Amino acid sequence: MEQHRVLVVGTGSIGERHVRCFDQTGRASISVCEVNEELRDRVVKKYGATDAFSDLASAIASQPDVAVVCTPANLHVQMATQLADAGVHVLCEKPLSVELDGVENLVQTVDRTGITFAVAYVRRCHDVGIAYREAINTGRFGRPVNLVCTGGQMFPFHRPAYRDIYYNDHRTGGGAIQDSITHLVNFAEWLLGPIDRLTADAAHCLLEGVEVEDTIHVLTRQGDVLGSFAHNQYQAPNEAAFSIVCTKATVRVEFHHNCWMWQDDPAGRWHVEKFAPAERDVAYLNQANLFLDAVEGKRDVHCTLEEGIRSLHVNRAMLASAETGQWQQIAP
């Protein structure tokens, strides 16, 4: 297998996961860049990174092939542009940014250098999600007309440091809109195409120590498809489910049960396609391998820069709608 020099920029929770998963591919030697000395030293000691840097310029000077940007979202575009300008292939964590400043320059830099660029919307890398999309795209269930997505998780359990990290401020990518439901609407666009317009309602209900929204409801239009999303960050079950009502059947995926299913007879039953239980790292390991495949020219990236920009527009529209109470049109 071809070996890659992979630089992980930022070694918080998601950065550490990328270190672990790229290492597990067997296709990468890992270096890290982290300003927090304690975090940097812990990850180096735990995973045996080949190099460690405290600033991006020094890390770029070491000539990595691939970089994974895992810093707060307000730093993504600046760092990704520096890396792309140096000819480094970039996997950028979601969301791409919190604003549009610098995005056009990033696009121009990626186009000029020809590097491989992807945004890390990892739900596109779940085996069950891939199978669900492929089944819908066959047309066997007819034309999609209605989408319903529900989900949530106990955020303090899964991310106990949430009060002290990027999550506590919209300006660094915090809140349920930019942190969690963005995964779901991005997946929905992968399934059914771009969201044309939306309206959203959001509130801070339960999470202690922060003021950003922890609950979000969204109504969408995707062409002729009417959609609704509901997500919170305090329920005990960690789950996400999509139901798409098509003209011939209803088709559902349940990520938390690792299965997808369909029902076409109102007097019948669900037909279930089960996948083997999978730990959370499996999708991230898939993502790492898929991205390295794209770098090697074996496949397209799972989420393009253009699709990541689209999700940025959707995030900003949800925030604006939640603030104003008005429908928002998404730029084409």
Mean pLDDT of successive 10-residue stretches along the chain, which has 332 residues: 95 96 97 96 93 97 98 98 98 98 98 98 98 98 98 95 94 97 98 98 97 98 98 97 98 97 97 93 97 98 98 98 97 78
Distance of CA 202 to the CA centre of its chain: 20
- Total residue count of the chain as it appears in this document: 332
**Confidence (pLDDT) at 315:** 98
By CB atoms closer than 10 A (0-12, 13-18, 19+), residue 202 is: buried
User: 0.85 cut: is pTM over it?
Assistant: yes
**Confidence (pLDDT) at 278:** 86
Residue 148 φ then ψ, to 5°:
-130, 125
Q: How many whole angstroms separate alpha carbon 287 and alpha carbon 24?
A: 12
Find residue 42's DSSP bridge partners: none
**Confidence (pLDDT) at 149:** 98
The SS3 assignment for 317 reads helix
Q: How many whole angstroms separate alpha carbon 2 and alpha carbon 292?
A: 9
| Residue ranges of domains in the chain, CATH in brackets | 4-123+285-302 (3.40.50.720), 126-276+311-329 (3.30.360.10)
CA angle 89, 47, 162 (to 5 degrees): 80
**Confidence (pLDDT) at 332:** 74
In single-letter form, the type of residue at position 216 comes to I
